[in-house]
Amino acid sequence: MLGQLQQAGIVAQADAQRPLDHGAWVPLMHLYPQADVPVVQVALPVGYGPKEVFALGQALGGLRSEGVLVMGTGSMTHNLGEFFGGGREPSPYVLEFSRWVESAVTRGDRVALLNYRELAPHAQRAHPSEDHFLPVFFALGAAGWGGEVPLQTDYISREVMYSMLAMDAFALSGPESLP
């Protein structure tokens, strides 16, 4: 992995002492409850935006052909400042932002999604900081999304928790995808 990142001009180093972040171990404990798969967590560099994280995913996309599952985990919306607002029904802005992202992903509209801060409805409110949304760009880059060959987008979940935390989950697959 380090070699692939370096070939793409991305500076990276291994840190065997760093524990898994909750963004990695929470989905993994559901997908692999026996913890019987090797895991390499890729931390997103501070200061990276959507375009840089997308390129990071592209650099590691070739691992899929070697049987490696590449995941990006975060939240479709993540405004913890509204966590204690008391409401439990999904806030309208959460649904509008999430459906905008879903539409852009399904259409393969790379330009729109990479510029979501300017184009998506309620982007700033949905993500006061980008740290929980950037992993989607990593996964899209690794999947080869937005390229010549369209990918199939299968939505697994569109759950909203605490009125403001959209936990959408989707899988991308194309003609070369692994079974």
Segment among 34-38, 106-110, 170-174 with least mean pLDDT: 170-174
Read off the tokens for 149. 């060959």
| pLDDT, tens only, 53-110 | 999 999 999 888 888 888 889 899 999 888 877 677 899 999 999 999 999 999 989 9
Q: Is residue 176 pLDDT above 70, yes or no?
A: no
Listed residue (50, 26, 43) closest to 141, CA to CA? 50
Domain ranges of the chain: 24-29+48-173
CATH topology of domain 24-29+48-173: Protocatechuate 4,5-dioxygenase; Chain B (3.40.830)
Q: What angle do CA 80, 49, 116 make, to 5 degrees?
A: 70
pLDDT of residue 151: 80
